[in-house]
Amino acid sequence: MRFRHRAAAGFATLLLPLAGLVGLASPAQAAGNATATYTKTSDWGTGFGGQWTIKNTGTSSISSWTVEWDFPSGTSVTSAWDADVTHSGTHWTAKNKSYNGTLAAGASVSFGFNGAGSGSPSNCKLNGDSCDGTTVPGDAAPSAPGTPAASSVTDTSVKLGWSAATDDKGIKNYDVLRDGKVVGTVTTTSYTDTGLTAGTDYSYTVQARDTADQTGPVSGAVAVHTTGGGTTPPPTGDRVKLGYFTEWGIYGRNYNVKNLVTSGSASKITHINYAFGNVTNGQCAIGDSYADYDKAFTADQSVSGAADTWDQPLRGNFNQLRELKAKYPNIKVLWSFGGWTWSGGFGQAAANPTAFAQSCYNLVKDPRWADVFDGIDIDWEYPNACGLSCDTSGAAAFKNVMAALRAKFGAGALVTAAVTADGSSGGKIESADYAGAAQYVDWYNVMTYDFFGAWDAQGPTAPHSPLTSYSGIPKAGFTTADAMAKYKAAGVPASKLLLGIGFYGRGWTGVTQDAPGGTATGPAAGTYEQGIEDYKVLKTSCPATGTVAGTAYAHCGSNWWSYDTPSTIAGKMSWAKSQGLGGAFFWEFSGDTSNGELVSALSNNL
């Protein structure tokens, strides 16, 4: 089955350049007992592949490693794996993952990355000392300051405060960064930023500089929305209320289009994304022909109450959607192509966007089901970045594809896309021209879920869909607020951004701590896959015991889950309205209760 979980950040955390996670090894591990060497593994003109290899040359084990280097201006890391990579200006830092930090004497480990530009690394340090194993005069760079807290927010200013960084030689000052750019330098742990625009989203981080002029890693990010002058939210009737219906749901889950009627959900939504069509050989293609247009539904399974016959022109889910639209003529249906498993085909599609768009148009507008679909949705995970595989089609590829689709489908059709919610510094939002493509789309489904999960088997436990940052969040920038702020700062209109809700939870087992941040031994058991379970199951099997960052969590026995409830969805919808967002969407219908309580919470509060 081709689940779309892991879409926002999730499983791809091994592939992301992540902010705010770097700490330096203790000095006892730093001197003369390890080396780091760099190799360029490939070069394609505008970019390259690189690899660092860390070797323990000492006689005792190393428990962690941190590699630092400088790139010349114009050269950068665009994606990385087997290390958490961050940067401050042209200074780059890579820290081991939880699974590869320990090196026995004589052992080595490598991590790789894709880069843009043509420069080579210089000034390499490993755990604070030279990468050749010699001791560097002076000592380690300062630690990251605490995530700043915002207060006294007005139309044009905000006051920030943070906990101090540490350094053995002492802290000289702090740089305050707004949306990744330094806007002030102070010697205290507070700063008031002025001259802002009313009703606007900003993201702030801080980094420390020690008395040797070494800068440390940036802090976690805080999202700030100034008062006044905000975007006027769309009228309630204009907001999008969209749900994904999966073609494979009719099998093991036994969730048919008719369930949208019996649950009451059909009367509360405006749009359906039918998932997924395939993307292969540079073209749109059928995903599952039996489910899509061949399966015969019995009378009790059918929206119309009439059984399919062997000789009718169209059967399957497509015919059921046609019957649904006849019953609820306000509902629009889009055919979604790609998803986690089938995103690998977009690279070839991007090589000839016009031909790709033509193939999609021919399929969506096939005379057998042309009346079923009102447009097309693209779920490319991820343009010019890494997901299930790494795409190197370039920053302009996504814009080119969306432009070609709009040109082919015309102004009367819906053209939309599911997009990353990685709001971290140097993250996926920065990898493609989402702002440029926005002119061609009706909206973006921002996949604001799957930020954290049991692919990090030992934890820390964390909500998979945090609305805002919170103290102890594992990865800075992995929140709904950070993602939306980043899109809007880039120039995407708020009215074209939809907030995403997961109708499922993610969980760990072997957990003793109630609050987030606990350790675990692995993923909790799930009905269809370890570490994931439908809301309709969790609401009774592991009821919520608390909330963090606008998301519920539950600790029952040794299991720890996070998921959205009707209450947290109501809060997120209120936030979406305050931000002037175009609406909300969810993945996916079958995770809800039989009476559609999550759909009701989304619809009633939006």
- H helices of 464-534, in order, are 480-490
CB-CB contact of 228 with 578 (8 Å): no
The answer to whether the peptide bond before residue 460 is cis (omega within 30 degrees of 0) is yes
Nearest Cα to Cα of residue 170 among 217, 130, 216, 219: 216
Nearest to 313 by CA among 335, 326, 297, 294: 294
Q: Name the nearest CA neighbour of 213 among 270, 241, 242, 173.
A: 173
Q: How many residues in the chain?
A: 606
Task: Give the SS3 label for residue 375.
Answer: strand
Distance, C-alpha 306 to centroid of its chain: 42
Residue 58: Cβ-neighbour burial (10 angstroms; 0-12, 13-18, 19+)? middle
Contacts of 23 (CB under 8 A, 6+ apart): 66, 95, 143, 144, 217
**Pairing status of strand 122-126 against strand 171-178:** unpaired
Measured distance CA(586)–CA(593) in Å, rounded: 14
What are the phi and psi torsion angles at 152 (to 5°)? 50, 45
The owner of tokens 């894709």 is 114
> Can you list the alpha helix ranges (DSSP code H) found in 181-327?
258-262, 289, 316-327
Give yes or no: 381 in active site.
yes
Catalytic residue among 68, 381, 430, 533: 381
Nearest to 372 by CA among 311, 319, 296: 319
Catalytic residue IDs: 381
